Amino acid sequence: MGGVEERGFLRGSDRTGQECAAGSAPRPDCLAAVPRGALAGPPAMPHFTVVPVEDKHRSEYDSVEGLSWVDYREPSATPATGDSYDTVSSDGHGNHKENSPFLNSIEASKGGDYYDRNLALFEEELDIRPKVSSLLGKLVNYTNLTQGVKEHEEAESTDGSKKKVSKSPSMGTLMGVYLPCMQNIFGVILFLRLTWMVGMAGVLQSFLIVLLCCCCTMLTTISMSAIATNGVVPAGGSYFMISRSLGPEFGGAVGLCFYLGTTFAGAMYILGAIEILLTYIVPQAAIFHPSGAHDASSAMLNNMRVYGTVFLILMAVVVFVGVKYVNKFASLFLACVVISILSIYAGAIKSIFDPPEFPICMLGNRTLSRDQFDVCAKTIVKDNVTVASELWKLFCHSTNLTTENCDEYFLMNNVSEIAGIPGAASGILKDNLWSNYLEKGEILEKAHHPSVDVAGQKNNLHLYVLSDIATSFMVLVGIFFPSVTGIMAGSNRSGDLKDAQKSIPVGTILAIVTTSLVYFSCVLLFGACIEGVVLRDKYGDAVNRNLVVGTLSWPSPWVIVIGSFFSTCGAGLQSLTGAPRLLQAIAKDNIIPFLWIFGHGKANGEPTWALLLTALIAELGILIASLDMVAPILSMFFLMCYLFVNLACAVQTLLRTPNWRPRFKYYHWALSFLGMSICLALMFISSWYYALVAMLIAGMIYKYIEYQGAEKEWGDGIRGLSLSAARYALLRLEEGPPHTKNWRPQLLVLLKLDEDLHVKYPRLLTFASQLKAGKGLTIIGSVIQGNFLETYGEAQAAEQTIKNMMDIEKVKGFCQVVVANKVREGIAHLIQSCGLGGMKHNTVVLGWPYGWRQSEDPRSWKTFIGTVRCTTAAHLALLVPKNVSFYPSNHERYNEGNIDVWWIVHDGGMLMLLPFLLKQHKVWRKCKMRIFTVAQMDDNSIQMKKDLATFLYQLRIEAEVEVVEMHNSDISAYTYERTLMMEQRSQMLRQMRLTKTEREREAQLVKDRHSIARLESLYSDEEDEGDSVPENIQMTWTKEKCDAEKRNRGSAVGTFRDLISIKPNQSNVRRMHTAVKLNEVIVNRSHDARLVLLNMPGPPKNTDGDENYMEFLEVLTEGLERVLLVRGGGREVITIYS
């Protein structure tokens, strides 16, 4: 700073300097005058270095504020080169990168935002906290989001150089959401099963079924719209929404359910297409033919399996070769659906004034299968001769008109023809209002039609139209529900939409309203136009094997037959296209490890392996071969998915998480819960056993992801729910201390770490896990000595080490590492501040300070005693496992042995409770418990034993009871000797520490004269004794000081001589006597015990006796392999009451 003082650099009165300081634009005469290398000041300067300006006129100096380029970096980061700078610039997308350190002044003045004058205060952090302009540049395209969608960021960073300019999404609501949803919702059920459903359930119950299913999807859509408009939903649709809202466990489970649902939907569409092909288009193509009258259904199923497999392979090949062709033909398939539906409406309108001719042949009130005969009559006139018709031959098995072998029902009832499509004006609606459920194999009958009720021959049943499955309201719900699925099509395309947050709700809700109106109107039209027995005829046997809905259509039944065939093929292709991508998305999230291979595919990203698995699963559905059996399966999976979409919305709404800000405002948690309830009800209504299987599959996937440890943090609602539940529970716990019946040890385990931050005594954790067995609270605490700012990284590393050790030892709990200047202070902080509210520790587990006798440094045992005092002051229980390295590991088993409890004084019942808790663990389960108590001369030992046995019986604790009598004996010479040795050692160590530190203290006093009080605190704190003393202190010796030093040395030698003639303190002798006698008794009775629990005496009130206290504890536990010293917290922890 010499230059500053010489040339008056800090003067700010000069006008030119002020102009430089205040000027808004950089002036060359101000900036160029500052050599950039000079800004890199010497390391001694804490903040910045001010340098003189090289200028012609002495008066033209900048004021301090006039310097814009002040280098705030650490001295180590400052370049050595005089005119170089390491700079950070932006690539325009907010990705800051390091530029070349060799920048000339011209480049810098043009250059990056690092040198922006207005942001000089923030320049050090621009790489982690980008400028707002950079951030907004990243938000232009949602795949560049910095927060929330980390996956996209990772994908970008892998290959930033090859990044192409993405085409901006341009699809609107109509093309992007409405039409895809319509195409996915309308499907095979509408054409193949809706007429049959109306015939079986009646118009009213069919309305109810449609209403239930449409309400379910509408409420789900409202919830989905809320989630989809709460931020950007990338491709992945419902899986992405659920996983990011409810977490990886729910996301994985429901994502796989949705995947299985989509896959089985593909199988269902293929089965529908085969049914249309073999039943209505080319029946001659059947490979298997019925050998008898009763095996027609099995032949049909085999045909479905063969053709279904062929179709599946063809479709999989199409999807593998080119998805783009599937997408191109999507609009064609949709056109087929729309034309087919329009032809139904046209036919219904035409039926009012000109119903189509589809006569039904009835025998009595029974419906005959029309494909086996031409004329609906018993006899026909041929060449003026009455001869038997085909019908007579079928029922009477003869060509003449003899009645010997005729079916009795055939003889007794007349044959008649009725109109299959009476038309909308016929009033048939009132007959079709009510349900007419049938059992399997039952004949379709027309109510109120004249008939004589007699039994017919069973071998003629194939001539009638029969019900192929048992029907009920529940069965029909399961079969119909797939016809309302497909509401996710819009959210799956969110990446292609111009304004997804507007298009998804509007388009999906409009699609549901449209399809619901179509379904309601179709139910009404079918009931009003078609005869009931025709409606109940699933395969159109009564109308010459025509598709029933086709009989109503105009201009021809073939419009619907061909249209429905192509639409089902298209829907199958769409399912086989969508399902593998969903599986690939789940696999790439890596939450289900065994699916990792399905995340890979072709070079262009097509999911080859996922397509293969999808085809195999779809083949399972095709092997079932029955549309009516496959539909309930995929209903389950879709309902499970919709249930969790509703749950996700409800959870987010009720938790009011800060990030829950949907643009779609017309949602409510009550609607979501209603939707969830309807989903659950529909699952069990349609098929309770399928529902249980679907839940079991989802539950197993959930537990698998949880067990494998899904290392994903998606800010999900379940985490928020856990927080809310924890907060509620903590507030409830705050209402008062727990009752004695609910008391259990909530542990704070104080661990010691070595120099490499490894756990010194891991068996403390083993003991904690055996004592807790996963119940209650366990906090593992440790203290690192030092400054927090400097050792924060060390603390993090220590915490991770402890967590790893907790995993190994299977300790369920929390970890807290504290940095403090003194270890004792850190332990005191842990004891005071660990836990939260009512979830605080009530028991401290503390390791024994091994080797305290051999160490000259008293800090270890002083810290130990200080901690004992802290726990006593905080009214906490204390457990000190001695010889903890001999304690059993979690893999050992004690098949025999005893846990001995020495109950000397009562301090709350901890000694009774701890062995009981330990015996819950498999290591100690087979050990027996023995309780010893000590009787003095004036105690009645027999009565004591009885009372103790009664007490244990009332505590419901099984244990042997023994009362040990201790006689008043004289204090032995051994006791005197031990006490004398203890006091001599203590005095000697104190003297050694005194002589060692006296000169250091004298030097400290010379340097710091005003701290006389420090003499008094010479032994006040153990860390003070270890304080570092400055080296190379220069002292001024006088003659008096030299004499005093010699006298001190002489007195020290004298003091060592005095140690020989020391006499033991009587109080210490009595304490030593107690320790020796108790130790003799304990070793005598419990030398072979697996564990000895013992009351721990409290430390002396006078701190001068601390070292003696350690000696007493050593003597008390001498000769015992495993000891647990127990000190109660001052409250009862065990009770005899229920």
pLDDT tens digits, residue range 686-695?
Answer: 888 889 988 8
DSSP state of 902: E
Q: Are 372 and 463 in contact (CB under 8 A)?
A: yes
CA distance 705 to 164: 36
Question: Would you state the pLDDT for residue 990?
Answer: 61
Q: Are 573 and 315 in contact (CB under 8 A)?
A: yes
The residue assigned the tokens 């200080």 is 866
52: number of Cβ within 10 Å = 19
CA distance 664 to 226: 5
Q: Are 1084 and 893 in contact (CB under 8 A)?
A: no
| Strands 359-363 vs 366-367: parallel, antiparallel or unpaired | antiparallel
Strands (E), 99-183: none
Determine the residue type at 535.
Answer: L
DSSP state of 942: H
> Partners of 415 in the beta sheet?
363
* 843 burial type by CB count under 10 A (0-12 exposed, 13-18 middle, 19+ buried): buried
CA distance 1025 to 400: 128
Question: Would you state the pLDDT for residue 207?
Answer: 95
Question: In the chain, what is the greatest distance between 2 CA atoms, to the nearest angstrom?
Answer: 162
**Cα pseudo-dihedral 1029, 1035, 1040, 1044, rounded to 10:** 20
SS3 label, residue 949: helix
848 half-sphere exposure, CB direction, 13 A CA radius: 22
Angle between helices 717-733 and 627-655 (to 10 degrees): 50
Question: Would you state the pLDDT for residue 45?
Answer: 41
Give the CA distances from residue 230 to residues 148, 216, 500, 506, 713, in Å, rounded to whole numbers and listed in that order. 12, 21, 11, 15, 18
pTM over 0.75: no
SS3 label, residue 677: helix
Q: Are 782 and 752 in contact (CB under 8 A)?
A: yes
Low-confidence ranges of the chain (pLDDT < 50): 1-51, 53-115, 141-166, 1006, 1009-1035, 1052-1057, 1059
The residue assigned the tokens 């065939």 is 565
The conformational region for residue 1077 under phi > 0 = left, psi -120 to 50 = alpha, else beta, is alpha
SS3 label, residue 573: helix
CA distance 677 to 683: 10
473: number of Cβ within 10 Å = 16
CA distance 233 to 223: 14
CA distance 242 to 248: 9
Question: Would you state the pLDDT for residue 1067?
Answer: 65
CA distance 724 to 870: 33
CA distance 807 to 809: 5
CA distance 404 to 533: 31
CA distance 356 to 14: 107
Distance of CA 202 to the CA centre of its chain: 45
Question: Would you state the pLDDT for residue 1001?
Answer: 60
Question: Would you state the pLDDT for residue 706?
Answer: 79
Give the CA distances from residue 1068 to residues 517, 722, 1072, 1095, 1112, in Å, rounded to whole numbers and listed in that order. 97, 55, 6, 19, 9
